[in-house]
A and B are shown apart, each in its own frame.
Chain A
């Protein structure tokens, strides 16, 4: 059995291993809408293969990451809810 560790999805601790993608960790946290489109519609992953860009989120402070293409690593901080261009949620709230 692979070693389990924790990542944080919007500050909630989620137990994963190194075969878990960040997108799957976010879905495990009960989050379906990863980000908002330009007109404010919630979107989540579609293609699962790094093409559609709908699964973007902020990983360790870096916005706009394709979460379906990234493996979880111990202590990763994942934040969802950014605007379509990948800005951090704090910036979004200021609009």
Chain B
């Protein structure tokens, strides 16, 4: 009697748009799919806490919730002990996650750049303040300066204003000429164009300054004001909060741990989103910062590829249109990268006593003379704290030209009891 074939086990890491779409596509092909995320709900950072007004997002949440996809929330991946197996940690409990195919949808994080005062309480990320607001931070009557770079500044400023905040200023570091070039590229994605118009309407009366960036955050135990600079002048604005982020860097820790090839800061994938490691796919921001549309297209492609043999993939009717959609999204991603490239002046903002590594209070001055990240890590404890270089890594790369070279487990700080719980207990009778 022939054995009943076991469904292929697909593990998807990250429940943002890319991961959700990949999981749904894979489960539709009959795979046994597990979708795991470190946060307590679907949506990733962009559709955080399943709170999104986008119809596409709402539909996706409903489809995932109503599907056979096994959902595992609050679970951080801490190690990849052997091929076909990840180790997660959820609320102090270890979780073995076996797979036949792995889809990495690990998303991105904000880039924070140091300047004097950037460590003061009430200086948040741009995505950071939006996440806090969605988590219940009241904003009515608060004065919030929004600064940094990228379209997120405008959408978050519009969101904060909708929640009753006063936005005295949006400081975009890129120049007007580049911004205009970027706007022209929105034609690749009509949905983005309409979104931009909607946001622009909300922001009427809010001062958008281009070629403008924060140089100093002021306050004793919390923020009270921020000094901004353009080529023409420097001035100080009183505020309750500063929301400041300089674009996004992909979360590469897990792809690097698994041995996936990374080039120019992004995971290298083939036309089916497969990484250099067979059976491991990567989708969304880690392959190039491009937003939700790109993530959805790549997620669908990987969901097909992870569950179908090469000869069967072409039979899936939607692949041609998915490839076309992905191409459009990648053009948009290119425009994003060019339009919001970080200006040279941002490298000159930190003073020698400005902290680079917040976890360990390592100042810029202490890094002078070190040839590499590794040297600074060994001698100054750079990146040795709780964030494990997730905040200071991108800053060090931009300021000092030190790329992240390697990672080692655990990828997230994990309590020793959690690790102990996976080790078979042994009797010590000696």
Contacts and interface: CB of A to CB of B under 8 A. Distances in A.
Contact of B358 (A32, A54, A70, A72): A54
B123 A19 contact: no
Nearest to A55: B132
Which residue among A17, A50, A71 has the maximum number of chain B CB atoms within 10 Å of its CB? A50
A79 to B, nearest CB: 17
B391 interface: yes
Interface stretch (B163-171, B304-312, B317-325, B382-390): B382-390
Nearest to A40: B361
Contacts of A45: 124, 128, 132
B137 interface: yes
B360 A38 contact: yes
Interface string B382-410: 00011100110000000000000000000
A34 B120 CA distance: 11
B39 interface: yes
Given A21-B136, A38-B361, A48-B132, A69 B38 contact: yes
B136 A51 contact: no
* B49, B124, B137, B221 — most chain A CB neighbours (10 Å): B137
B387 A24 contact: no
B274 interface: no
Q: What size tier do the contact residues of chain B reach?
A: 35 or more
A44 B221 CA distance: 10
Nearest to B118: A46
A39 interface: yes
A89 interface: no
Given A33-B222, A41-B119, A69-B39, A51 B124 contact: no
Interface in A53-89: 53-54, 56, 68-72, 84
Contact of A49 (B109, B123, B137, B221): B109
B112 interface: yes
A2 to B, nearest CB: 11
Contacts of B359: 37, 53, 84
B385 A53 contact: yes
Contacts of B391: 46-47, 51-52
Nearest to A37: B361
Given A39-B361, A43-B119, A23 B387 contact: no
B125 interface: yes
A10 interface: no
B386 A32 contact: no
Interface of B: 38-40, 45, 48-49, 74, 109-110, 112, 119-125, 127-132, 135-138, 221-223, 355, 358-361, 385-387, 390-391, 413
Interface of A: 16-17, 19-21, 23-25, 27-28, 32-34, 37-39, 41-54, 56, 68-72, 84
